[in-house]
Amino acid sequence: MNGRELNGKVALVTGGSRGIGLAISESLASAGCRVAIVARNGQRASEAAEALPGEGHAGFGCDVADSGAVQQMTTEVEAAVGPVDILVNNAGITRDNILIRMKDEEFDEVIATNLKGAFNLTRAVARGMMKRRDGAILNITSVVGLTGNAGQANYAASKAGMVGLTKSVAKELAGRGVRCNAIAPGFIRTDMTDELSDSQVEALKGIIPMGALGEPADISGVARFLVGPFARYITGQVLAVDGGMVM
Ligand code: NAI
């Protein structure tokens, strides 16, 4: 994909200021999109948007878990950047703990950000996409949403929930020209996985058939494909990008 197959499209990427979200923002900007980067810290979002290739990008500060704030931010994005053609629900957090020690706040915060956040954004942009009979929504879930993971009951539940959200939205909006898919990344090198110790990383490599962690660019290329015209007949799919961990 060397062309600019997304020329003139507007993409909104949550959690786009760093890690996987930043790589997706860069990839969509290279494909010709104007990108609205949304992150909790508005200044970081703006700095990241300014550094993207091409013009017309902008950054916005918003907590995706706050549905009122999401509604207001989406209105601002549409006024400043344009109607949203592509939504990438990438913002996500972990609050790992073993089940019997997990606090209510640890469970609730993760569900509110990862799952309710994706719902908030999807609902906010869906009406416009349906009216224009054109749109692509991409949810960044996780392989642990497919397999479960000890110590991550909250996170795995939120990511499994995103799978159900993806398929429901895909079914509901397919007839209106709007597609919805998900990527389930395996272990990717970002701030989130920097928390892992060297011994944990070595143990992980042992369970990844390709023998290495992935890079944000391994996700962003697939994201660009799934929201673009080459995937025009694909909806409701969850694609694991994980070096072969989940087959
Ligand atoms: P990261 O921690 O580097 O970046 C997360 C981004 O989400 C940041 O930009 C942060 O500002 C934003 N964010 C968090 N809470 C937010 C909120 N309430 N409102 C707005 N923005 C918020 O994470 P990373 O590694 O880039 O992960 C991105 C996505 O990929 C997450 O959904 C994560 O669960 C998922 N993922 C990551 C994997 C990995 O190995 N790094 C593996 C599987 C899934």
Which SS3 state, helix, strand or coil, does residue 244 take? coil
Alpha-carbon distances of 166 from 66, 154, 235, rounded to whole Å: 20, 18, 9
In this prediction, residue 2 has a pLDDT band, given cuts at 50, 70 and 90, of low
Would you say domain 10-241 falls under CATH 3.40.50.720?
yes
Mean pLDDT value across residues 143-164: 98
In this prediction, residue 118 has a pLDDT band, given cuts at 50, 70 and 90, of very high
Residue of 40, 159, 218 to test ligand 1 pocket, by largest number of atoms within 8 Å of CB: 40
Q: Write down the domain spans for the chain.
A: 10-241
Report CA(92)–ligand 1 centroid distance (Å). 4
Element (DSSP H or E) covering residue 55: none
Ligand 1 atom 32: the closest Cα is on which residue? Answer: 92
**Mean pLDDT, the chain, as a whole number?**
97
In this prediction, residue 1 has a pLDDT band, given cuts at 50, 70 and 90, of low
pLDDT digits (tens, 9 = 90+) for 154-204: 999 999 999 999 999 999 999 999 999 999 999 999 998 888 899 999 999
pLDDT digits (tens, 9 = 90+) for 14-44: 999 999 999 999 999 999 999 999 999 999 9
Overall residue count recorded for the chain in this entry: 247
Mean pLDDT value across residues 42-65: 98
Distance CA(184)–CA(222), nearest Å, equals 11
Q: Strands of the chain (E only): list them.
A: 10-14, 34-39, 58-61, 86-89, 135-140, 178-185, 238-241
Q: Pick from 120, 84, 60, 122: which is nearest to 6 by CA?
A: 84
Report CA(63)–ligand 1 centroid distance (Å). 13
Angle between helices 153-173 and 117-132 (to 10 degrees): 10
pTM over 0.85: yes
DSSP 177: T
